[in-house]
Chains A and B, each alone.
Chain A
C-alpha cells in the first residue's frame, strides 16, 4: 500500500498531503521535511526511485510540481509511476490543462479527486472515465443543495 502522497513545488512548498497511516503531527512534519529535501536535490535525469528508511520513494516531476509517494517493500514502483500519471490525468481532465495554481486555489477539489481514485493507499477505480463521472455527479449534487438552499420557500 501507499503510505503517503505528497505534492510539493520546486521551492519545497507543500501543496497536498495525503496520509494513509496514522502518524503524529511531528512525525508527519519530519517525513515531509526529509522527503522534500531528498527529492529536490536529485538531478533532472535521474532514476525516479529511492530507498529511504524502510520505504521506497517514487517521485515524478510534472512542470513545477513534484508528485511523490512512499511505498512499502512489496509494492510495484513502475505501477506507482502509472498511478501518479493517472492522477495527473484526472486533475488535467477536471481542471482543463491543469497547472500548479489550479491545485493551490482549488486544493479541496484535488483532495476530492484523489479520494475518488485512491482509498486506504490502494487504487479503488481503474477506469479514468468512471472517476471523472463520479466527480461530476458529486459536484452537481453539491450544486443542487446550494440551489435548494437559495430557493425561496413557498
Chain B
C-alpha cells in the first residue's frame, strides 16, 4: 500500500490522514466534497453546494460505466445522510450491484441498504443480483449479498432466496455460515412460515466450534423457539449441549480472542443464558438440567466490570424465570441486592428493573432490600429515581405502610415535576389499601394535597370528601385541620375545595372550638366568613373553587347564629357576578333566603354519609353531592336539594334516566326555574320515547325545503332523517343530497326514498344518515343539495354547526 499523506484543513486545525484511503482513491473527491460542504457557513450556502453536487452526480449517472460511478454514489450517500433527497440514486445502486467489480458492488450494496427499502419497487430488481452473488466465488461478495438481504430483504425477496440461504447454512465456511445464520433469522422474522426450512440445520450448527457461528446458531434457535411451541419442545433436548458449551466458556482458560475484561465471550454467554431461559420456562426437566450451571455462573462470574455484570444480570433473569429451586432464587435476589449497592448507576437501574419484575412473585425476598430501594429515591438521576419510585410503591404493605409513607411524602416534596403526579396517585392508592386508621388516611391525603395539589387527579376531591363523611368521629378534627390549612394558603385548588366543603358542612363543629385531637384554637364566625370570602375574592381561585366557597358560605347560614346578615349580603353581591355559575347559585340562594326561608334549614342540613359506587352517579360523584361546575360535565345540582326530588332533578340532568318529573308537580323549591326548564327541554329529546322527535327546518330556498330530525340511538351514534319537500309549481327532479362530517365521525348514508319531489308539497323525499361519533367531537355536517327544477340545475350547500349531543337541536347557518 503506497503511503500518501494528505492534509486536510477543517475548522482551523490540521487533520492528518494516512493512506488506507487509497482503497477508494477517488474518495479524495468524496472527501473533497465533504470538506466543501462542511465549510459552508449557512444553511443556504450548504443547500447551494449540495444542489450543484447532486447535478454533477446525476450527470455522472447518465454517463454510464466509466469507473466513476461508485464515487458518485458514495457522494450521494453522504448527501442523503445530511437529510437531502437521494431517490434518483436508487437505480444506480441496482446497476452497481450488478457490476463485476468489487468496489462497485460494495458501494452499490451499501447504497441499497441506505436508499432502498422494501417499499421501493427498485428493491425487487436486486433480487437476481443477490441470488447470483450468493454463489459468487469470493466470500466477500457473498457476504455483501447476505448482509444486504438481512438488512432490507422484503418478504418476497426472502421467500425467493430462502433455499439459497439454507444451503449456505449447511455447506460453507464459518465466515459465510455465521452471516447466513443471521440472514435466516431475518427471513424468519419476515416470513414466519419459512421457519420449518431452517429448523434441521439450526440443530446441527450447535456443534460448531467457531464462536461467531455458534452465536448465530443460538440466536436462530431462540427465534425459532419463540415463534413455535412445537419447535421449542424439540429444542429442549438441546439443553444439555447448551449447558456444556456454557460450562466450557465459564471454566475455560484465558482465550485472548474472545476475552472481555476477564469474561470469555460475554456476548455468547448472554445469548445462551437467554435461550436457556426460554427452554427452561415452565418445564421442570429442563430447569433441573441447568440448575447447577446457573449456580456456577452466578457464583463465579466476576462482576467488577460491565461484561461480568451483563452475564450476571442475564443469569439472574434466567433463574427467576424458570422453575429453579428456592436456594437458587434466593441467590439471584441477593445478587440483585448487591447490584443495588453498586456505585455504577447503570447497575442500580437494571437491578431495580429486574426487582420490579419479580416483586409480585417473590415479594418477601424483595422486601428485604426495601431500605436500599428507598435510599435510591434520593439518587440524582431521574431514571433511577423513577425506578425506585415504582418499586417502592410496589413494596408498600400493611406492615410497613407508615414508614414507607413517610419516605414517600418526603420524596414528594423534593421529586422532579415529571414524577409528581405518579407519586401522588401512588400514595393515594397505597393509603387507600393499607391505611392503619382513618385519621392517618385523612392526614396523608391532606399532606399530599398541600404539597402537590396541582398534580393530583380530578377524582381526588370527591373521593376525599366521601372519605371524610364516612369518618364521622373525625369531623371535628378534620375541619379544624382544613381550616388551618386554608388560612395558611389558598393556592392549592383541590385542598381549598375540600376545605370549603368541610367548613360548610361542619362549620358548627369548627366554631365550637374544642377538639380532642388538636390543640384548641378559638375560631369566631367572622374568622370563618373572612376565610371563605378570601377564597371567593382571590384571583388564584378557580371558578370551581369559588363555587365551593359560595355554597359553603350559604350552608353556614344555618350553622351560625350571629352573622347571618353578612352571609345574606355576600350572597346578594354575587347575584350580579360575571361568572354565570356563581351568579346562578347566588340568585338561587337569595331566593332561598327570601321566598323559601322556611325551608332553608331543612335544605341546608347536614348531608348523610355517602357511599362510593352508588348507582346512577357519574364521574365518581354520588347524587346529591355538589357537582363541580365544569363545562364538560352536565349542569350541577344544588347541594341542598338532598331529598328525593333532588335525585330526580339530578337524574334529569344526567339524561340517562330522566322521565316524567317535569310533568309532576315537583316538591323541590322551584328556585331552580332556569335549571329545570332547560332540563325539561333537554330531557324532551333525551329520555322520553313517547315525545315526538321534533323536525327542524335547515334550508328553505326556491321552494325546496329541507328538514332534519335527530334521533340519538346510543352515546356515540346518531340517526338523522333528512326530509325534503317541494312547494313550487313543478316537480323537482334529480334530487340528490351529499353530506360531509368532521374527520373522526363516520358517516353512512342510506338510499334516499327517491329523486323526484312532487310539486305543491304533495310528497316528500326522505334520506337517513347514520353517524358514528366515537370520539364525541362536536358534530357538524355540511349538506350539498343538487336538483333540477323547471329545466335549470340548482346546487346549494347548508352547514349545520352544532348538534348538541343530548338535544340534537341543530343550530343552522345557511351558507
CB distance from A73 to the nearest CB of B (A): 10
B22 touches A143 (CB 8 A): yes
The complex places the Cα of A124 from the Cα of B270 at a distance, in Å, of 14
**A20 and B21 in contact (CB under 8 A), knowing A82-B307, A111-B110?**
no
The reply to whether A146 and B25 form a contact with Cβ atoms under 8 Å apart is: yes
A62 lies within 8 A of chain B by Cβ: no
Q: Are A49 and B140 in contact (CB under 8 A)?
A: no
Among A51, A77, A85, A137, residue most surrounded by chain B Cβ atoms (within 10 Å): A77
B83 neighbours in A (Cβ, 8 Å): 14, 29
Let me know if B306 and A119 touch, CB within 8 A.
no
Cβ of B448 within 8 Å of any chain A Cβ, yes or no, is: no
What residue in chain A is nearest B24 (Cβ atoms)? Answer: A142
Nearest-neighbour CB distance to chain A for B294, whole angstroms, equals 16
- Chain B residue numbers with a CB within 8 Å of A108 are 24, 74, 77, 107, 110
**Interface residues on chain B, size class:** 35 or more
Residues on the B chain within 8 Å of A123, using CB: 215, 267
The answer, yes or no, to whether A149 is at the interface (CB within 8 Å) is: yes
B346–A78 contact, CB under 8 A? yes
Whether B194 sits at the interface, judged by CB under 8 Å, is no
> Of A78, A105, A134, which one neighbours B175 at CB under 8 angstroms?
A134
Interface string of B94-111 (1 = CB under 8 A from A): 000000011100110010
A153 CB–B CB distance under 8 Å: no
User: Does B558 lie at the interface of the complex (its beta carbon under 8 Å from any beta carbon of A)?
Assistant: no
CB of A55 within 8 A of chain B?
A: no
Which residues of A (42-94) have their CB < 8 Å from a CB of B?
A: 45-51, 74, 76-79, 81-83, 85-86, 94
Give residues of chain B (155-187) contacting chain A, Cβ–Cβ below 8 Å. Answer: 175, 178-179, 182-183, 185-186
The reply to whether A76 and B270 form a contact with Cβ atoms under 8 Å apart is yes
Given contacts A108-B107, A125-B178, contact A120 B309 (CB under 8 A): no
Asked if B27 lies at the interface with its beta carbon under 8 angstroms from chain A, I say: yes
* Complex Cα spacing A144 to B138, Å: 13
Per the bound structure, the CA–CA distance linking A22 and B102 in Å amounts to: 27
B23 at the binding interface (Cβ < 8 Å): yes
**Cβ of B189: which chain A residues have Cβ within 8 Å of it?**
120
Q: Which one of B106, B185, B267, B380 lies within 8 Å of A142 (CB-CB)?
A: B106
Tell whether B17 is near chain A: CB-to-CB under 8 Å: yes
Are A126 and B350 within 8 A (Cβ)? no
Chain B residue nearest to A99 (CB atoms) is B15
B147 at the interface (CB under 8 A from A): yes
Q: Does B274 contact A (CB under 8 A)?
A: yes
CB neighbours (8 Å) of B267 from chain A are 79, 82-83, 123, 126
Q: Is the CB of B182 within 8 A of A124?
A: yes
With A45-B380, A83-B267 as contacts: A126 and B258 at CB distance below 8 Å: yes
Contact partner of A145 among B74, B102, B345, CB < 8 A? B102
Closest beta carbon of chain B to A43's beta carbon, Å: 8
Q: Which residues of A contact B107 (CB under 8 A)?
A: 108
Q: Nearest B residue to A95 by beta-carbon distance?
A: B20
Q: Are A124 and B179 in contact (CB under 8 A)?
A: yes
From B20, B78, B143, B348, contact of A139 by CB (8 A): B20
Q: How many A-B residue pairs have CB under 8 A?
A: 174
Q: Say if the beta carbon of B460 comes within 8 Å of chain A.
A: no
Q: Mark contacts of A120-147 with chain B using CB atoms, 8 A cut-off: 1 yes-contact digit, 0 otherwise.
A: 1011111111100010011101111110
Main secondary structure on B side of the interface with A: helix
Known contacts A49-B350, A78-B350, A82-B267, A141 near B140 by CB under 8 Å: yes
Total count of chain A residues near the partner, CB < 8 A: 60
- Which residues in B have their C-beta under 8 angstroms from that of A130? 212, 257
B389 to chain A, nearest CB (A): 13
Instruction: Check A126 against B67 for contact (C-beta < 8 Å).
Output: no
Report whether A124 and B216 are in contact in the complex, using a CB–CB cutoff of 8 Å: yes
CB A132 to nearest CB in B, in angstroms, measures 11
A106 at the interface (CB under 8 A from B): yes
Does A14 lie within 8 Å of B81, measured CB to CB? yes
B232, CB-defined interface residue at 8 Å: no
B512 on the A face (CB < 8 A)? no
Per-residue contact bits, chain B 105-143, to A (CB 8 Å; 1 contact, 0 not)? 011001001000111000000000000000000101001
**What 0/1 readout, one digit per residue, does chain B (2-17) give for beta carbons within 8 Å of chain A?**
0000001010000101
Q: Which A residues are in CB contact (< 8 Å) with B178?
A: 124-125
| A119 CB contact (under 8 Å) in B118, B150, B383 | B150
Least CB distance from A9 to B in Å reads 12
Chain A 1-48 residues near chain B, CB threshold 8 A: 14-17, 20, 22-24, 29, 45-48
Decide if B152 is an interface residue (CB 8 Å cutoff): yes
Q: Give the A-binding residues of B (Cβ under 8 A).
A: 1, 8, 10, 15, 17-18, 20-25, 27, 31, 34-35, 38, 67, 74, 77-78, 81, 83, 101-103, 106-107, 110, 113, 117-119, 138, 140, 143, 146-147, 150-152, 154, 175, 178-179, 182-183, 185-186, 189, 211-212, 215-216, 219, 257-258, 260, 265-268, 270, 274, 306-307, 309-310, 313-314, 345-350, 380-384
Q: A111-B113, A127-B211 are in contact. List 16 more A-B contacts (CB 8 A).
A: A22-B119, A24-B119, A49-B346, A76-B310, A77-B350, A78-B309, A82-B260, A101-B8, A104-B34, A105-B17, A108-B24, A123-B215, A123-B267, A127-B258, A138-B143, A142-B24
Closest 6 pairs (CB-CB, A-B): A78-B310, A79-B310, A119-B182, A125-B212, A120-B150, A47-B383
**A residues neighboring B (CB under 8 Å):** 14-17, 20, 22-24, 29, 45-51, 74, 76-79, 81-83, 85-86, 94, 96, 101-102, 104-108, 111-112, 115, 119-120, 122-130, 134, 137-139, 141-146, 149
A-B contact pairs, 26 of them (CB 8 A): A46-B345, A46-B382, A49-B350, A78-B310, A81-B306, A82-B306, A86-B260, A101-B8, A102-B17, A106-B21, A107-B77, A108-B74, A108-B77, A108-B107, A115-B147, A119-B146, A120-B186, A123-B267, A124-B215, A125-B212, A125-B215, A130-B212, A141-B138, A141-B140, A142-B102, A146-B25
